[in-house]
Every structure is written in C-alpha cells, then in structure tokens.
C-alpha cells in the first residue's frame, strides 16, 4: 500500500511519475494525457475541416482524409474523453469518499501506463505512412465496419492491438473505481449518501466492464478474419458482415453513456455550488442513472436501421430508444430545479455547466428524431447525424469536463485561476462549437453524407462556416491551456472551500490537499 | 509487499478478482455473439441464410388459392471468374408445391475452379418459410477448365407464409472455395 | 448574461427552419420529396423539429428566467428544497414527464409506426424490379426482366476535383450511365454488394439502404414526378467513397420503354462489333481512352502505380505472361483475368460487368503495348466475348 511510502523518500523526476501509485499523481497524468490527445485529435480534425473549407481536393487525397477522420474518432473517444473522466475520478473519488487513496494503487499505475503505448500504437502507422512507409493508419471510420476493415492495410492491425490495450486499461481502471466506491467510503457514507459524481462513475465503470471485453472480442475476430482464415464477417464462409455492426454497436452505443454518466454526475455538484442550493432530486437522479445504464445496453441496433432489419426489430429498437428520453428528462428536470430559486453566480465552472446543459439538451432532442426508424434513413450517415452526436458529445466530454476542471482546479493547485480568461475561454468555445456544428444540421438535411473529403457545390457555404467555427473552437482550447499553466504556477491562494456554495468532503481538505487525502477517515452522519 | 495485508486490502483484492471475472465473462459473451447471432438469424430470418429441410409434411396442403412470385438472381463474387445465371428469371408458385429451379454455370478459365454458392433470401421475413430440400449450395462445386453445368435447387414454400408476402427473391453469391471456420 | 439572449435566438432560428414550407430552398431542409415515402418523412421531420424546438425553447426559457431572477448579484436568497414536498408539487414534477411520454409514443410514435410499415412494404404489388450492386466505387444496375445490366460511375473529371478546371453545375453528382426508371410505378429495389458495405441513397426518394456483400436487402420506390434525382453512397467504402454518386432519371412510361429499346439495340450493336476483327491501332486508341477513364486513377497515367498501394503496370511480369491459353480459355491469375475479374481483397475491381467486350480487349491490348510494355500481343473483342457468355 502507498501508506508506507514516506513523503521524503519520494522518487524524483521521471521516476516519480513512472512509479507513482498516488491517486493525485495518476489523476494528473490522466488529465494531461487526455489534454494531449484532445489536441492531437483536434489538430487532425482541423486538417479535415481545412480540406472541407471549399469543394475540391486542396490539401490531401481521400486515403489520408479517411485516416484522419478515423483517428479523430478513436483518439477523441478512447484517448481524450475516457481518460479525462478517469482522471477526474482518480483525483476526486478518494477525496469525495473520504478515502486515503484508490483501493488498488498499483493497478492504478498500471492502467494509466498502458495508455501512452496504446495511443502511440494507434498513430504510429499514420506517421510512418506520412513518411512513405506502409499503408498508413486505420482508415475505416471509427466504426471499423467489416469487410472494409478486413480489406484495409496494416493500420487496422495496429488499431486492433491499440483497442485491446485501451480496453484493458479502461477495464482495470473501472475495476479500481468500483472497488474504491464499494469498499473505501467513509464510515456512515451509505451508497445513497454518496456524491453524485461517484454514482455517475460507478455506472460508467460497470458499463465498461461489460462492453469493452465485447469490443475486444470483436476486434480479435476481425484480426482472425484478416490473418488466420476465419470467416466471422464473410458470407463465403458462413459469416455475416452485419454481425460486426451488432458487436460494434453493442459496445458503441453504451460507450456514449460511458462518456456522459461521469459528467452527469459531476455537473450537479457545480450547479449546486453556484446556485448555493442543495442538489434537487438526488434519488431521482440516481435512479435515472441506473435506468440509463440499463437501457443503454438494449438499444444498440438503432444505429443500424439502414442496414435492413425486420419490422419487429425496427419497432423494438425505435420505441426502446425513445424510452431513454425519460430518465434523461428526469436529469434535466433535476438540474434545472437545482438552479431554481437559488442564488446564482456565473463563474467559469457554472458557465461551462450551463453550456453543457443547454447544448447537450439540443443534442439529446435531435437524437429523438433520429430514433424514428423510417425517418432515420434521411438522417443516418448524413451530416445531420454528425451534428447531432457532436452536440451530444462535445458539450459532455469537453464542456462538462471543463466545468469540472475549473471547479476543482483551485483545490488541486491551491491557486485560483484567472476568472476573466476562463470566461473568455467559455464564450469562444460556445461560439465556436455552435458555428461548427449548427451548419452541419442543414448541410445534412440537404443531403451531404459524412466521411467524404469532397462535396457537391450546394453544400459549400455551410461547410465554409463550419470550418471557420472549428478554427475558433480550436483556439478556445489554447486559452484553456494558458489558464491552467498560469494557475499551476501561481495566483491568488485558494481557500479550503474554494467556492462559497461548495459542499462535500473534498472541500474539508486543504487546497492543495495533502499527499494522502484522508489518513484518518472522516465520519459522515 | 512485505507487511501483512489488512482486511480491507484483502477485501479489495477479492472484489477486484470478481470484477475481473465479470470482464472475462463479457469477453466470452463477445465471442459467443457469433454463434448466438446465427441462431437469432435462423429464428428471425434476418440475414437470409438458409438450411436444408425435408419434404413438406404430408398434412400440408398446397395452397392453390394464391401464388407467390419467386425471382432468381445470381452474383459471381470477386475471385470466382465464372459465368453464372439463373435459367429462369422467375417462377409463379403455390405455397406447399415442390419446385425445381435451375442455374447455369461455366468456367471460362484454363484452371479448375472450386467454389460455394451462398444463398440469400429477401425479404428477410420470408426466409423462415423458404425450405430447401436439395440445393447445389449445400455442396462445394468444382468446375473443370472450360466446363459448363446445370445446377439445381429443389424447394417448397411453407403455406404458413404471411399473406402480405407476394414476392420472394432468391439470390446466390458464388464465392471461391474457402476453408470453413 | 449573453447566454440569456442567445438561446431563444437560437431556438427561434431553428423554429423558423422547422416550419419547412417557408424555407422551400433546397439547402435548408430535405429536398422536395419525389416519393410518398419522402413526403411522409418530410412531414414527420417538420413536425418533430417543431416539437423539439418548442420543448427546447420552453425548457430553456424557464432556465433563462431563473438565471436572470435567481441571482446572487440581485440579492436573491437561495431556497433549500431538494424535491417535491406537497401533492401539488409532485403533480407539477410529474406533468413534464407525462407530456414527454405522450410526445414520444403518441405524437412521434404513431406516425413513426406507420412510416416503418410503409417503408417495409416492398413485397406487395411491385411492378418492376431493379437490382443495385455496390462495387468499389461504382454502382451496377440490373433490370432482370429486360436483361439490361450496366455500371454507373461518376463522370466528373479529375481536373475539376483537383481544382485544375472550373467545377460544373453537378460537380460530383453526375454519372456516365444514370439509372432510368418510369414514374408512377412501384419499383422494388434489391441491393447487394460484391466487396464492402455500401449504401444507396437518394434524398428526394427518402430511402437509404445498405448494400451488404453476399446478402440481399430490399426497399421500394414510386417516383411521382419526372426529373433527375441525385444522391451518393452513404457508407464509408474506402478511398473513393465520396466519388460514387447515384443519378436517377425518372421519366414517363413511354420514354422509359423507348430507353429500354435503345439499350437493347445498343447491346446488339455491341455484340456485332465484338464479332469482327479489330486492328491494333483501333484497339490501342480505344484502349487508351478506357485506361484513362478507369485505370489511371490508381495505376497512374504513366502506369507507374503508387508503391505500397497500387502496383505498377509498367514492366509488370503479368503483362509478359499470356492472357489466354491456346484453347482460348482465360489464364487464371493472368492479365485478362485480373482485368475481368479483379483481384480479391484489393481495390482492383472486376471490370467484366463494367466494360463491354471491345473495351476489355482494347484496354488489355493497350496495357500490353504501352505504359512501358511491348509484348506485341493483341486481344480481340471476339475472344473476350467467347469467355463470357450466355448459355449456349
């Protein structure tokens, strides 16, 4: 256990980070890794948006374009969004639950250090491809549909092994989180007294343990089809390409909620703190998180309406998908009711939280129309879909995480960040995000398919707007980096309770907190 | 670790192993999806795969009150450089009748070709009612250089076919021989 | 707060769009529907968008009100409630969810149910059948009743894509051989593929259906007004996914029959021309044109290929080996075999159904005698014709 490491004997330099079993160090590494991946995936998609600025092929050929969109998807989901949430969990769970550290500190170290090699494995063929070696990175779209993923070059093999490692990492991290939450809570903290954030992450970890192995099995089948003569996805040998779609979306749909649930857990803390009012409907929110978790694993085939499905299948997946709107509506209701008749102030975490609630609201509502199995033919794989899921995912995985980071940054660093710049960050991101994705709804309705490097002339104006928006959105993250560096290096001293309305065990610790969060567990009444 | 494990550490490790077990089960489930999917498809007729059946049961009456149009299509697949066509483009049949249909195939190359014809039926809802008694698709076909051949399929359509289905399409994708997994 | 002003504006903007008819412009909503299904989808879509916009505006108006009134800077004292406490409050808390369920399962659910049934109804009363086969990166159309079969490929020149020439009006949405169908007839489309999954999509028809290799899928279309309808492949299918458009000419019945007649005449003419002996010069000239149109994008205009991706044809040993054996049979794995049947699991398509006998003979002759090769071999259209064939 990490208790027995005396503070003065800490290794220094690289070794400290390599060997650390401390939840704060590992949390920091997760967050920095996620930020690097966010910038990597962002740079990739900025290159894509630059190509799409006007019709014609200007900057790249289709094969490079396909690699970029594929890597963007995989890097953002598995490299940025999930590690960012895990980083928050690592930092905050022991502090919020009144524990000294995570339950399995060495496993924690391991689950982080699998990530960087996995990410390298994913992008190595891309870099080699640019240098003229090999066939480039995986270029099948992040959905990796067979038989395209059987046919394509060696980038797919790299991606398969990378997915195995990313999967292993997130399974290990999830095991750690579940054990921490179930075994390490402060005396008196029953499950139903637990912070919302712990609930959100508990649900996410549960989902991950179920879905990531299925994806790992699926990509292994792809690997076997590619190299060992099996025919899981080939009709010639009795297989079926549509089987891959089922396997992928059995993982892929819950994955969306994997990204959402930790944020849906963190946001109530922020809203409550800045409305200076307790969380509304705690139990209702917890039950909704359960409902979402359950429903998320039984609706996957609504991603496959156009692949041909029986009438019964279409109706089932349509109506069950619509059902998800109910628990989500409960969450929205509770979030807004938490604000209602509070005493609000609008610091950066609050702005990001409200931005999340608003934009994710629109993302969710547009998802409702996509659930219609017949109308889906018009939306599916068109830019409308792209716009929809970016309205769902950007507010969640970036704005939601930003809200949490700004909220807890004073706790982590012991300094207040530059509030003015942080607000600028929010507004630039808010404008950039809407300018990027709102036009994509229209261009999708007009008939532009996704994943094309070149498009017909009637789509030109909206694409140009979207490209301009993406540049603004990209710049907003640079402001964020500046604010964080400034905050780490100094600034006004943060109180233990950095925000007036903040509640929870983490705010009883000093800012920054001691190396071991709670050596003596607090007692919760 | 040299120190004796605390009860909490033991409990933590035990729970971690259990959760690891859940992950392993989930991995098994991932692989089990392949056979499960086949079973599911056979029950629901989702992807149009078909299997061998016997003659229609004697109590099944031929339903002369309606006829169903069965259309035949062919698709030589890449890697199988054959000429392959149905000998009749469509047949009007009664449910319950035993039907013989033919395809024609030729190997125009200088090399023997072996391959399998993989059937597919549309709409998927008709699949469960389309019963093949004998079919060239049950066996691997080997064609000598320059050889041409008639291929036969014998089938019946179950009288229980929903009235809403009036047209069925049967297609064969002719693949080069593969090692069965 | 700026947010307060921004949100209703955003909602109003979308609300205006949702009204549909006020924005007849192609670029703001679905294209004008040409089939009953598309009309249905547009109707449902407009209704959905209106409702979700109203929900969005209503919910966020409440939030915006709260953000304006319940502020610390205005001295508002925070309340402490954490849930509904009285019966009236419970009622208030439950009403939104009842409304939501009503919208989900009644207002959305019922039209969606009907749309799904309509969409699936390709089984009944179709008056004709068209088979659509996805190939990397072309569509093949087949009219089984008429014996007509052809490949439809994008006709936009590479110079336009590479910005070396001004872009035409139908840039990327134009093909050499459009699909021709009669208006007013219920047509069953059967889709399949020979390589990877493609998806056939014409927005004005309101249909999109995947083409799955080895399996059939079907849908139906009845076009109500004549016109030219354009769409694209909607499932990432590799390098030239963006360059795989769909163009459909919907014409009156009489015109359709005329077209069918012309196709049949052309097929006879093609068979006749394949029957005669061609000179080397004729074959080389035609072969060059076929090469530039079909092969040069991968194997490059000079035949040098792209290392690691597409093999060079210049100096390729396949060119030196015979294409046909002495008995006139196709040499397996030989040059002509590759051109006609493609190479499995690569981007090399089978051109058997894309090109006619004379075109195949010409391009093979061209490749064997140009691009740095000089075998002196001629392949005659009649030899190709003998290889494929109809039942004798």
Nearest chain A residue (CA) to C120 = A311
pLDDT tens digits for range A464-479: 999 999 999 999 999 9
Q: Provide the pLDDT for residue A4.
A: 46
- Which of the four pLDDT bands, split at 50, 70 and 90, describes residue B50? low
C265 and C280 part of one domain: no
Tell me if residue A339 falls in helix, strand or coil.
helix
Residues 310-369, chain C, touching B (beta carbon < 8 A): 325, 327, 329-333, 337, 340-344, 350, 352
Sign of CA dihedral C162, C165, C166, C170: negative
Q: Is B124 in CB contact (< 8 Å) with chain A? A: yes
Q: What burial letters (b/e) apply to A296-334, b meaning 16+ CB within 10 Å?
A: bbbbbbbbbbbbbbbbebbbbbbbbbbbbbbbbbbbbbb
Of B33 and A208, the structure prediction assigns the larger pLDDT to A208
Tokens of A47: 């290159």
Distance CA A339, CA C72 (A): 12
- At A368, which helix (H) or strand (E)? helix A348-370
- C301-307 average pLDDT score: 86
Tokens of C265: 């005449």
pLDDT above 90 covers a percentage of chain A that reads 86
Domain membership flag for residue A252: yes
- B81-98 average pLDDT score: 92
Least confident of A231-240, B53-62, B114-123, C36-45: B53-62
Tokens of C341: 């049947």
Contacts of A343 (CB under 8 A, 6+ apart): A275, A276, A277, A501, C70, C71, C72, C76, C77, C78
Q: Tokens 């012991």, residue?
A: A414
Boundary of a domain, candidates C244, C269, C294: C269
Domain hosting residue C342, numbered range: 276-387
C383 and C305 part of one domain: yes
Of A356 and C4, the structure prediction assigns the larger pLDDT to A356
C297 and C223 part of one domain: no
Q: How many CB atoms lie within 10 A of CB A209?
A: 23
Residue A136 has pLDDT above 60, yes or no: yes
Boundary of a domain, candidates C221, C237, C269: C269
Whether B22 sits inside 8 A of A174 (CB atoms) is: no
- Which of the four pLDDT bands, split at 50, 70 and 90, describes residue C349? confident
Q: Tell me which residue of B84, B87, B86 sits closest to B107, measured CA to CA.
A: B84
Q: How many CB atoms lie within 10 A of CB C239?
A: 21
C89 and C135 part of one domain: no
Tell me if residue B121 falls in helix, strand or coil.
strand
Distance CA B176, CA B173 (A): 10
Q: Tokens 């044109």, residue?
A: C289
Q: Provide the pLDDT for residue B46.
A: 56
Q: Provide the pLDDT for residue C126.
A: 84
- A196-201 average pLDDT score: 96
Domain membership flag for residue C348: yes
> Could you tell me the strand order of the sheet in which C179-182 lies?
C179-182, C245-251, C227-233, C198-202, C207-211
Residue contacts between B and C (CB atoms, under 8 Å): 109
Distance CA C172, CA A57 (A): 12
Domain membership flag for residue A190: yes
Q: Provide the pLDDT for residue C123.
A: 61
Q: Provide the pLDDT for residue A3.
A: 46
Least confident of A6-20, A120-134, A194-208: A6-20
Contacts of C196 (CB under 8 A, 6+ apart): A145, A147, A148, A151, C134, C136, C213, C237, C238
C91 and C143 part of one domain: no
Q: Tell me which residue of A136, A117, A121 sits closest to A61, measured CA to CA.
A: A136
Q: Provide the pLDDT for residue B7.
A: 85
Domain membership flag for residue C245: yes
ipTM here: 0.92
- Which of the four pLDDT bands, split at 50, 70 and 90, describes residue A1? very low
Q: Provide the pLDDT for residue C307.
A: 83
Q: Tokens 């250090």, residue?
A: A113
The distance of B68 to chain C (nearest Cα, Å) reads 10
Please state the separation of Cα C247 from the chain's center in Å. 9
Residue C9 has pLDDT above 60, yes or no: no
pLDDT tens digits for range A152-161: 989 999 999 9
C328 and C261 part of one domain: no
Domain membership flag for residue A291: yes
Q: What burial letters (b/e) apply to C104-120, b meaning 16+ CB within 10 Å?
A: beeebbebbbebbeebb
- β-pairing, B167-176 vs B68-76, is parallel
Tell me if residue C208 falls in helix, strand or coil.
strand
Domain membership flag for residue A522: no
pLDDT tens digits for range A402-461: 999 999 999 999 999 999 999 999 999 999 999 999 999 999 999 999 999 999 999 999
Indicate the residue of A211, A231, A235 with minimum beta-carbon distance to B181. Answer: A231
The distance of B25 to chain A (nearest Cα, Å) reads 8
CATH number of residue C286's parent domain: 1.10.760.10
Whether C388 sits inside 8 A of B73 (CB atoms) is: no
Domain membership flag for residue C236: yes
Boundary of a domain, candidates C209, C241, C269: C269
Q: What letter does residue C129 receive in the DSSP assignment?
A: E
C94 and C147 part of one domain: no
Least confident of A219-233, A450-464, C289-303: C289-303
Highest-scoring range by mean pLDDT, B122-131, B132-141, C249-258, C342-351: C249-258
pLDDT tens digits for range C95-139: 989 999 999 999 889 989 988 888 887 667 788 999 999 988 899
CATH number of residue A136's parent domain: 1.20.210.10
- C78-94 average pLDDT score: 88
Domain membership flag for residue C76: no
C331 and C349 part of one domain: yes
Contact status, residue A108 vs residue A90, Cβ threshold 8 Å: yes
- Which of the four pLDDT bands, split at 50, 70 and 90, describes residue A106? very high
Distance CA A453, CA A459 (A): 12
Contact status, residue A431 vs residue A472, Cβ threshold 8 Å: yes
Domain membership flag for residue A10: no
Whether A377 sits inside 8 A of C55 (CB atoms) is: no
Residue B58 has pLDDT above 80, yes or no: no
Whether A344 sits inside 8 A of C66 (CB atoms) is: yes
Burial grade of C273 (CB within 10 A; 0-12, 13-18, 19 or more): middle
Average pLDDT of chain A to the nearest whole number:
93
Q: Provide the pLDDT for residue B5.
A: 72
Whether A307 sits inside 8 A of C217 (CB atoms) is: yes
Which residue(s) pair with B73 in the sheet? B171
Which residue(s) pair with C247 in the sheet? C230
Distance CA A41, CA C333 (A): 42
Distance CA C137, CA C236 (A): 11
Distance CA A260, CA A395 (A): 10
Which residue(s) pair with B149 in the sheet? B105
CATH number of residue C146's parent domain: 2.60.40.420
- Backbone angles phi and psi of C372, in degrees to 5: 85, 5
C250 and C333 part of one domain: no
C280 and C254 part of one domain: no
Domain membership flag for residue C91: yes
- C6-30 average pLDDT score: 50
Residue A326 has pLDDT above 60, yes or no: yes
Domain membership flag for residue C248: yes
Contacts of B6 (CB under 8 A, 6+ apart): A1
Domain membership flag for residue A525: no
Distance CA C47, CA C50 (A): 5
Distance CA C214, CA B175 (A): 9
Contacts of C55 (CB under 8 A, 6+ apart): A365, C103
Q: Provide the pLDDT for residue A471.
A: 97
Highest-scoring range by mean pLDDT, C23-27, C197-201, C283-287: C197-201
pLDDT tens digits for range A46-90: 999 999 999 999 999 999 999 999 999 999 999 999 999 999 999
- Which of the four pLDDT bands, split at 50, 70 and 90, describes residue C63? very high
Distance CA C18, CA A231 (A): 46
C244 and C342 part of one domain: no
C213 and C292 part of one domain: no
Burial grade of A372 (CB within 10 A; 0-12, 13-18, 19 or more): buried
- Which of the four pLDDT bands, split at 50, 70 and 90, describes residue A108? very high
- Which of the four pLDDT bands, split at 50, 70 and 90, describes residue C365? very high
Q: Is A175 in CB contact (< 8 Å) with chain B? A: yes
Best of A177, A243, A258 to disrupt the B interface (most B CBs within 10 Å) is A243
Tokens of A148: 């395209």
3-state secondary structure A147-177: CHHHHCCCHHHHHHHHHHHHHHHHHHHHHHH
pLDDT tens digits for range B94-115: 998 999 999 999 999 999 999 9
- Which of the four pLDDT bands, split at 50, 70 and 90, describes residue C183? very high
Sign of CA dihedral C134, A385, A442, A379: positive
Indicate the residue of C117, C173, C201 with minimum beta-carbon distance to A311. Answer: C117
Please state the separation of Cα C55 from the chain's center in Å. 35
The total number of structural domains that make up chain C: 3
Domain membership flag for residue A2: no
Q: What pTM, to 2 d.p., does this model score? A: 0.91
Domain hosting residue A76, numbered range: 16-508
DSSP string for B52-83: B--SPPTTPPP-TT--EEEEEEEEEPTT---E
The total number of structural domains that make up chain A: 1
Q: What burial letters (b/e) apply to C325-358, b meaning 16+ CB within 10 Å?
A: beeebbbbebbbbbbbbbbbebbbbbbbbbbbbb
Residue C17 has pLDDT above 60, yes or no: no
Domain membership flag for residue C392: no
């Amino acid at each position: 256990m990490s208790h027995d490491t005396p503070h003065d004997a800490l290794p220094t330099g690289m070794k400290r980070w390599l060997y650390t079993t401390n939840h704060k160090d590992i949390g920091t590494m997760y967050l920095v890794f996620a930020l690097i991946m966010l910038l990597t995936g962002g740079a990739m998609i900025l290159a894509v948006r630059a190509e799409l600025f006007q019709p014609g092929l200007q900057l790249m050929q289709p094969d490079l374009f396909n690699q970029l969109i594929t890597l963007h998807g995989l890097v953002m989901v598995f490299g940025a969004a999930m590690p960012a949430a895990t980083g928050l969990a690592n930092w905050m769970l022991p502090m919020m639950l009144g524990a000294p550290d995570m339950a399995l500190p060495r496993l924690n170290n391991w689950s982080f250090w699998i990530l960087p090699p996995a990410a390298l494995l994913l992008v190595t063929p891309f870099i080699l491809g640019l240098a003229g070696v090999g066939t480039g990175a995986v270029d099948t779209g992040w959905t990796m549909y067979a038989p395209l993923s059987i046919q394509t070059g060696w980038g797919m093999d790299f991606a398969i092994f990378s997915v195995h490692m990313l999967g292993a990492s997130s399974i290990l991290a999830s095991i750690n989180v579940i054990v921490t939450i179930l075994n390490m809570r402060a005396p008196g903290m029953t499950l139903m007294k637990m912070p919302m954030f712990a609930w959100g992450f508990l649900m996410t970890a549960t989902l991950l343990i179920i879905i990531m192995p299925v994806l790992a099995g699926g990509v292994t089948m792809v690997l076997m089809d590619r190299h060992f003569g099996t025919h899981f996805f080939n009709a010639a040998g009795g297989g079926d390409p549509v089987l891959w779609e089922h396997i992928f979306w059995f993982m892929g749909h819950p994955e969306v909620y994997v990204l959402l649930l930790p944020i849906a857990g963190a946001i109530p803390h922020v809203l409550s703190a800045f409305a200076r009012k307790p969380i509304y409907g705690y139990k209702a929110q917890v039950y909704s998180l359960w409902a979402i978790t359950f429903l998320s694993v039984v609706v996957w085939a609504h991603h496959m309406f156009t692949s041909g499905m029986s009438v019964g299948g279409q109706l089932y997946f349509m109506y069950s998908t619509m059902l998800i709107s109910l628990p989500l509506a409960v969450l929205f209701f509770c979030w807004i009711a938490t604000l209602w008749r509070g005493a609000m102030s609008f610091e950066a975490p609050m702005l990001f939280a409200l931005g999340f609630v608003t934009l994710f609201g629109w993302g969710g509502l547009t998802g409702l129309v996509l659930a219609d199995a017949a109308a889906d033919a018009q939306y599916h794989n068109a830019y409308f879909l792209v716009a929809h899921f970016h309205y769902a995912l950007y507010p969640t995985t970036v704005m939601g995480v930003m809200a949490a980071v700004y909220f807890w940054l004073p706790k982590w660093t012991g300094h207040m960040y530059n509030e003015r710049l942080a607000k600028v960050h929010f507004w630039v991101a808010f404008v950039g995000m809407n300018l990027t994705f709102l036009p994509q709804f229209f261009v999708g309705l007009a008939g532009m398919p996704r994943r094309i490097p070149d498009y017909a002339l009637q789509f030109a104006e909206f694409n140009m707007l979207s490209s301009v928006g993406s540049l603004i959105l990209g710049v907003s993250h640079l402001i964020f980096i500046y604010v964080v560096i400034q905050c780490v290096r100094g600034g006004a001293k943060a109180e233990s309770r950095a925000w007036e309305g903040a509640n929870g065990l983490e705010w009883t610790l000093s800012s920054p907190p001691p190396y071991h969060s709670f050596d003596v567990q607090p007692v919760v009444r | 670790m040299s120190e004796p494990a605390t009860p909490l550490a033991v409990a933590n490790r035990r729970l971690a192993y259990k959760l690891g077990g859940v992950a392993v089960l989930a991995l098994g489930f991932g692989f089990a999806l392949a056979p499960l999917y086949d079973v599911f498809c056979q029950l629901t007729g989702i992807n149009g795969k078909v299997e061998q059946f016997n003659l229609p049961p004697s109590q099944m009456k031929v339903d002369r009150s309606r006829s169903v149009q069965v259309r035949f299509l062919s698709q030589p697949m890449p890697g199988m450089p054959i000429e392959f066509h149905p000998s009749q483009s469509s047949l009007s049949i009664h449910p319950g009748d035993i039907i013989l249909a033919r395809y024609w195939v030729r190997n125009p190359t200088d090399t023997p070709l072996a391959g399998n014809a993989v059937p597919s039926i549309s709409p998927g809802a008709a699949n469960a009612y389309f019963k093949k008694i004998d079919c060239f698709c049950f066996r691997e076909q080997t064609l000598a250089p320059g050889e041409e051949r008639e291929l036969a399929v014998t089938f019946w359509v179950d009288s229980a076919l929903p009235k809403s289905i009036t047209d069925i399409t049967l297609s064969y994708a002719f693949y080069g021989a593969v090692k069965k997994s | 707060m700026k947010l307060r002003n921004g949100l209703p504006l955003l909602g109003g903007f979308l609300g205006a769009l949702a009204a549909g008819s006020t924005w007849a412009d192609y670029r703001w909503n679905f294209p004008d529907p040409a089939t009953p299904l598309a009309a249905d989808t547009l109707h449902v879509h407009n209704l959905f968008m209106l409702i979700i916009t109203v929900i969005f505006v209503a919910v966020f108006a409440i939030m915006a009100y709260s953000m304006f009134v319940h502020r610390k800077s205005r001295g508002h004292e925070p309340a402490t409630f954490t849930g509904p406490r009285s019966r009236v409050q419970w009622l208030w808390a439950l009403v939104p969810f009842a409304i939501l369920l009503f919208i989900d399962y009644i207002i959305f659910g019922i039209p969606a149910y009907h749309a799904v049934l309509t969409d699936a109804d390709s089984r009944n009363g179709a008056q004709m059948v068209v088979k659509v086969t996805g190939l990397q990166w072309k569509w093949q159309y087949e009219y089984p009743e008429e014996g007509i079969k052809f490949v439809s490929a994008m006709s936009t020149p590479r110079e336009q894509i590479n910005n070396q020439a001004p872009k035409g009006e139908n840039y990327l949405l134009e093909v050499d051989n459009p699909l021709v169908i009669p208006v007013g007839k219920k047509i069953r489309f059967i889709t399949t593929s020979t390589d990877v999954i493609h998806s056939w999509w014409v927005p004005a028809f309101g249909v999109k259906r995947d083409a799955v290799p080895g399996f059939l899928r079907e849908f139906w279309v009845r076009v109500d007004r004549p016109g030219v309808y354009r769409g694209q492949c909607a499932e990432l299918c590799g390098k030239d996914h963006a360059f795989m458009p769909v163009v459909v000419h919907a014409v009156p019945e009489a015109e359709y029959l005329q077209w069918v007649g012309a196709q049949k005449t052309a097929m006879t003419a093609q068979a006749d021309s394949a029957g005669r002996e061609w000179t080397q010069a004729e074959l080389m000239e035609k072969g060059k044109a076929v090469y530039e149109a079909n092969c040069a994008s991968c194997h490059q205009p000079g035949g040098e290929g792209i290392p690691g991706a597409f093999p060079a044809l210049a100096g390729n040993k396949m060119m030196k080996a015979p294409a046909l054996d002495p008995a006139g049979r196709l040499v397996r794995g030989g040059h002509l075999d590759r051109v006609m049947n493609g190479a499995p699991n690569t981007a090399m398509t089978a051109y058997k159904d894309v090109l006619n006998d004379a075109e195949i003979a010409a391009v093979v002759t061209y490749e064997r005698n140009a691009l740095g090769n000089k075998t002196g071999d001629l392949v005659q259209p009649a030899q190709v014709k003998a290889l494929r064939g109809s039942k004798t």
